[in-house]
């Protein structure tokens, strides 16, 4: 280092001022986090301090020197190279009370995090590669933690997430460091084969454990099968990703997050829903979806669902309503046109398990259904050439032990009124009975395709079956 310092004092007082300048050559910093050296190179600075130069004495013989404040070291702007075609402009100042540094330029994200760790800023620990546009201000006292404010513009970042088969790709995001929070805006990222956009806000500093965050996220599509492929390469179902003993990811179970989630499409196996929007809260393994709205089966669904991933096995519970749903679309999911028409229902359900089979075995629920303007294309009564019509149907349906039970069900065909009782299983086995007050009852047994229609207990009326 070459330095020239000068002390100028007043002849009438002990006041004075330091002035001067210094310059380093080939300055290098070495620290373990960098796995090598940080080559700073040439750095110039000047020193200013003390009282201003004295003026001529006043008529009263007093010295007219004016206090100018404590000593300061002014760092001349210099360029810090952090990689190929990446450099950051640095300038700042230091005094007895503390220091202030400004950074502006481009830097590799990993190198930037390593440099921050080196000077004691303790940035978040994650494995990521990519670039960042830096506009930061660092200030603090010599014996207190430094405060960092400003903006990082992330570009083409690949972040490795423990337990994911593929990295999270962040095309762009603006990270704003504010005094009380970290605000990540204009996120555009790719995960599970889809594009996600939105924002995330975290407190700064985070005094709670785990640290709560707020998020507003939107996806073009959420496909649970793709999420399953993302998590452990598809070796685990998506719902075991968050369950203890499954993917073994305690960091996700310890997450605390809330906000809004939306998607243009939600895909659950063959079921495709649209325009999903919901508020959510995830608190250490417990997920709550409230005010959930989605277009499904041609109708509008509203409801709320909860999931406890810390339970063994995970437990799920929900309630809601569907208005104007299409029974034709419901039948298409079963690959059999056994019913047509429209329906509305209010439901509540709960189930538990770690796979689809356990879900179906444990499922229990109840629904109040109102349907109409349709038919049962496989069922023909008597000598009628048209299938059994459904002008209007109301029913209370209970689900337990993989079986639906009908209660208080009434069917108006337009020509007759029937009371409908019996059961239907998830395996499509039927044991139903149609009853009229003045006619012989009819039984509907067998499977959805084909069912068997017969008088009960004797052949008092004719019925025939036609499978389409």
430 pLDDT band (50/70/90 cuts)?
very high
Q: Is the dihedral of CA 434, 435, 436, 442 positive or negative?
A: positive
**Nearest Cα to Cα of residue 74 among 34, 96, 47:** 47
pLDDT of residue 8: 60
Query: What does the mean pLDDT of the chain come to?
Result: 82
Q: What is residue 315's predicted lDDT score, i.e. its pLDDT?
A: 93
Q: Which position has the higher pLDDT, 257 or 32?
A: 257
Whether the predicted pLDDT of 137 surpasses 50: yes
The pLDDT value recorded for residue 174 is 95
Q: What is the predicted pLDDT for the residue at 234?
A: 47
Q: What pLDDT is attached to residue 304?
A: 97
Residues 405-414 pLDDT 10s:
999 999 999 9
d(CA 219, CA 244): 27
pLDDT for position 245: 45
Cis peptide before 450 (omega within 30 of 0): yes
The CA distance from 148 to 123, in Å, is 10
The model's pTM: 0.77
Residue 328 has pLDDT above 90, yes or no: yes
User: Is 14 exposed, middle or buried (CB count within 10 Å of its CB: 0-12, 13-18, 19+)?
Assistant: exposed
User: Which range among 113-117, 158-162, 386-390, 438-442 shows the weakest confidence by mean pLDDT?
Assistant: 113-117
Q: Is the pLDDT assigned to residue 244 strictly greater than 60?
A: no
Q: Which residue has the higher pLDDT, 157 or 4?
A: 157
Cα angle 147, 150, 153; round to 5:
135
Paired with 368 in beta bridges are: 346, 396
**DSSP secondary structure code for residue 330 in this structure:** H
Q: Are strands 36-48 and 72-83 parallel, antiparallel or unpaired?
A: antiparallel
Q: What is the DSSP letter of 164?
A: B
Q: Is 388 exposed, middle or buried (0-12, 13-18, 19+ CB in 10 A)?
A: buried
- Per-domain boundaries in the chain: 1-121+135-144, 331-468
Q: Are 194 and 219 in contact (CB under 8 A)?
A: yes
pLDDT at 284: 81
pLDDT above 80 (res 401): yes
- 105 CB-near residues (< 8 Å, 6+ apart): 79, 80, 86, 87, 88, 89, 133, 134
| C-alpha atoms less than 13 angstroms from C-alpha of 454 in its C-beta half-sphere | 9
Is pLDDT of 468 > 50? Answer: no
**Greater confidence, 391 or 37?**
391
Per-residue pLDDT of 15-69, as tens digits, reads 556 666 777 777 666 666 555 566 676 777 777 765 555 455 555 555 554 555 5
Give the range among 41-45, 84-88, 178-182, 338-342 with minimum mean pLDDT.
Answer: 41-45
**DSSP conformational letter for 269:** T
Q: Which residues contact 455 (CB under 8 A, 6 or more apart)?
A: 440, 441, 442, 443, 461, 463
| pLDDT over 70 at 118, yes or no | no
Q: How confident is the model at residue 372 (pLDDT cuts 50, 70, 90)?
A: very high
State percent of the chain over pLDDT 90. 42
Helix (H, G, I), strand (E, B) or coil at 251: helix
Cis peptide before 313 (omega within 30 of 0): yes
């Amino acid at each position: 280092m070459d330095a020239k310092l000068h002390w100028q004092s007043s002849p009438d007082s002990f006041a004075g001022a330091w002035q001067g300048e210094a310059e380093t050559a080939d300055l290098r910093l070495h620290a373990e986090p960098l796995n090598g050296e940080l080559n700073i190179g040439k750095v110039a600075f000047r020193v200013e301090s003390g009282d201003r130069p004295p003026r001529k004495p006043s008529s009263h013989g007093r010295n007219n020197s004016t206090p100018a404040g404590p000593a300061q070291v002014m760092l001349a702007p210099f360029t810090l190279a952090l990689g190929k075609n990446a450099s950051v402009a640095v300038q700042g100042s230091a005094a007895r009370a503390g220091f202030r540094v400004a950074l502006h330029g481009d830097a590799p994200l990993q190198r930037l995090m390593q440099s921050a760790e080196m000077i004691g800023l303790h940035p978040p620990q994650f494995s990521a590669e990519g670039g960042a546009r830096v506009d930061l201000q660092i200030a603090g006292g010599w014996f207190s933690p430094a405060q960092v404010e400003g903006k990082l513009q992330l570009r083409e970042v690949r972040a490795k997430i423990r337990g994911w088969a593929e990295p999270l790709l962040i095309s762009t995001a603006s990270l704003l460091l504010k005094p009380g929070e970290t605000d990540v805006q204009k996120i555009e990222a790719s995960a599970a084969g889809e594009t996600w956009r939105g924002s995330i806000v975290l407190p700064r500093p985070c005094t709670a454990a785990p640290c709560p965050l707020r998020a507003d996220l939107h996806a073009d599509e959420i496909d649970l099968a793709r999420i399953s492929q993302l998590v452990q390469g598809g070796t685990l179902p998506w719902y075991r990703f968050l369950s203890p003993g499954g993917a073994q990811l305690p960091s996700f179970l310890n997450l605390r997050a809330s906000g809004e989630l939306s998607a243009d499409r939600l895909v659950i196996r063959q079921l495709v829903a649209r325009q999903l929007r919901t508020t959510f809260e995830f608190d250490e393994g417990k997920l709550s979806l409230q005010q959930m709205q989605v277009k499904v089966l041609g109708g509008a669904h509203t409801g709320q669902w909860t999931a406890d991933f810390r339970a063994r096995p995970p437990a799920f519970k929900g309630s809601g309503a569907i208005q104007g749903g299409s029974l034709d679309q419901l039948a298409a999911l079963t690959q059999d046109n056994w019913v047509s028409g429209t329906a509305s229902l209010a439901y509540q359900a709960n189930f538990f398990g770690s796979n689809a089979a356990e879900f179906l075995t444990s499922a229990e629920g109840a629904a109040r259904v109102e349907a109409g303007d349709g038919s049962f294309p496989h069922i023909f009564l008597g000598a009628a050439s048209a299938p059994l019509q459904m002008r209007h149907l109301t029913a209370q349906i209970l689900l337990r032990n993989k079986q639906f039970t009908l209660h208080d069900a009434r069917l108006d065909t337009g020509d007759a009124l029937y009371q409908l009782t019996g059961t239907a299983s998830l395996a499509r086995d039927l044991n139903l009975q149609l009853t009229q007050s003045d006619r012989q009852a009819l039984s509907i047994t067998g499977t959805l395709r084909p069912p068997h229609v017969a008088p009960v207990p004797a052949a008092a009326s004719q019925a025939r079956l036609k499978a389409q």
